[in-house]
A and B are shown apart, each in its own frame.
Chain A
């Protein structure tokens, strides 16, 4: 299949390469030309605009940072919509506001383009190992068309519902992981300040109802004090901002997510945003350690 791919960053590059390996022809555009370098030796064609990518592809996958980027690639000058052939399906795998996804979907539909939101969970490791969890929102027809492509990038591909539903699922994922990481960091801080070994606490709790993957994996990395990403804290902050924007729009009370979002604000404000989300533990430690003592 002729597949367009826009957004060849940490996540997008390995994802696109999986598609190429599966025999698909890639059609690429990148804002920064150097992003195209890893594709010089493979079956890929490069273009000067997203519109040209759309003109040569049946499906275009977008993997960029935020809603304005998605909007620009899709609907901006020389965007996908201005060059598309009939029947084009755009798959946005970025994490953006669900309401923004719906709005972009509606505007693309007016131009005869199907839009599927398909954000992912699993991080860079998941992208490299083609082991992403992919949450999809869109029509069943569009989903069936892109499902074989998504299955080359992820190990779990689920149609959640109509346009925007994938982003809603991703937002739920970020509530659980954000609050979850903070919960583990708080439990470890509590144990340590009480003079109890957090490693022993983790070991004991793994067998009980408080077991979670976050306690197991993120918890271990906290104990190892390995704050390398993983999933960067500033991205978690961005995702929680989406959650809180939607909660505001819908009139929904999310006290824990709100508190967690503020912790991530502090992490980014103190210059720790490039660390993994588990850097929340360091923030808690800093808050409870007297200055310079």
Chain B
């Protein structure tokens, strides 16, 4: 299959690598030319423009940061896509933006599939991502060869935009849980109790969770700096590293969607405010376990 790929960040680079190593033909383009060098070295074809990627590909994968980036790329791709092409976007963007792009693509006979992922940089490197996608059901067989080399699961949630709703749910559960862990740590610390032991005791019980294991662990050892951001360190196996600013961004998306459809999210809206404070403290590029430090800031004398 002829696949285009745009966006080689923490997630995109290992994903593109997996596709190349699986024998897929990749056409690549990147704003900073050097970002795609690794792909070219693995046999990818370098294109001079987004349009050139689109005109030669049956499926183009994009993996960038915000809704505006995806919208910009979508416009360029649309102008060069052959009818029947698929724009497969792995970015986490607003569900509304995904639906809008899908509608515009449809007018040109192009499909948009939103396929945000969960698992972070580690999941991307180990090809163990959880992929949640929205788009026409008939597309599944054409997407399967891509999904199967990138993730351990790919679930079709519904029509275009549905993948982003699932991702919003994923982020909401995860970060709300991180906040719950932070509040438990703050309570234990204030009571003069070792949160490391509290965590250890809880991991085997009903309150055990991935968030408690990973983020609670970092709270217990006070490792708030993402290992991914510390030169010379690697993340422990299977531990997703996400900068807090990205979780913060996700909350803006999900709150926007909640407002649009009138869904009350009383707890999440409070977590969002804690994330706002986290950003104000300048910890956006550090680990989201910094939510503990936000609570500590509130009682700092």
Chain A interface residues toward B at CB < 8 A: 255, 259, 266, 269-271, 283, 286-291, 293
CB pair A293–B301 under 8 Å, yes or no, is: no
* Known pairs A255-B266, A259-B270; A266 contacts B280 (CB<8 A): no
B282: CB under 8 A from chain A? yes
Q: How far is the CB of B58 from chain A (nearest CB, A)?
A: 48
CB pair A269–B280 under 8 Å, yes or no, is: no
B294: CB under 8 A from chain A? yes
Number of chain B residues close to chain A: CB under 8 A: 14
CB pair B301–A287 under 8 Å, yes or no, is: no
Q: Determine the chain B residues whose CB is within 8 A of the CB of A287 once the complex forms.
A: 277, 280, 294, 297-298
* Known pairs A259-B270, A287-B277; A269 contacts B298 (CB<8 A): yes
* Known pairs A255-B266, A259-B270; A290 contacts B299 (CB<8 A): no
B170: CB under 8 A from chain A? no
Q: Tell me, in angstroms, the Cα distance from A266 to B186 when the chains sit together.
A: 12
The closest CB in chain B to the CB of A270 belongs to B299
Q: How far is the CB of B216 from chain A (nearest CB, A)?
A: 21
CB pair A290–B300 under 8 Å, yes or no, is: no
Q: Tell me, in angstroms, the Cα distance from A266 to B300 when the chains sit together.
A: 9
Q: Determine the chain B residues whose CB is within 8 A of the CB of A289 once the complex forms.
A: 280
The closest CB in chain A to the CB of B280 belongs to A288
CB pair B298–A291 under 8 Å, yes or no, is: no
B281: CB under 8 A from chain A? yes
Contact of A290 among B266, B270, B276, B280 (CB under 8 A): B280
Q: Determine the chain A residues whose CB is within 8 A of the CB of B294 once the complex forms.
A: 287
Q: Determine the chain B residues whose CB is within 8 A of the CB of A266 once the complex forms.
A: 298-299
CB pair A286–B266 under 8 Å, yes or no, is: no
Contact of B281 among A270, A271, A283, A291 (CB under 8 A): A291
Q: Determine the chain A residues whose CB is within 8 A of the CB of B300 once the complex forms.
A: 270, 286, 291
Q: Determine the chain A residues whose CB is within 8 A of the CB of B190 once the complex forms.
A: 269
CB pair A270–B277 under 8 Å, yes or no, is: no
Offer 22 A-B interface pairs, CB within 8 angstroms, sorted by A: A255-B266, A259-B270, A266-B298, A266-B299, A269-B190, A270-B298, A270-B299, A270-B300, A270-B301, A271-B301, A283-B298, A286-B297, A287-B280, A287-B294, A287-B297, A288-B277, A288-B280, A289-B280, A290-B282, A291-B282, A291-B297, A293-B282
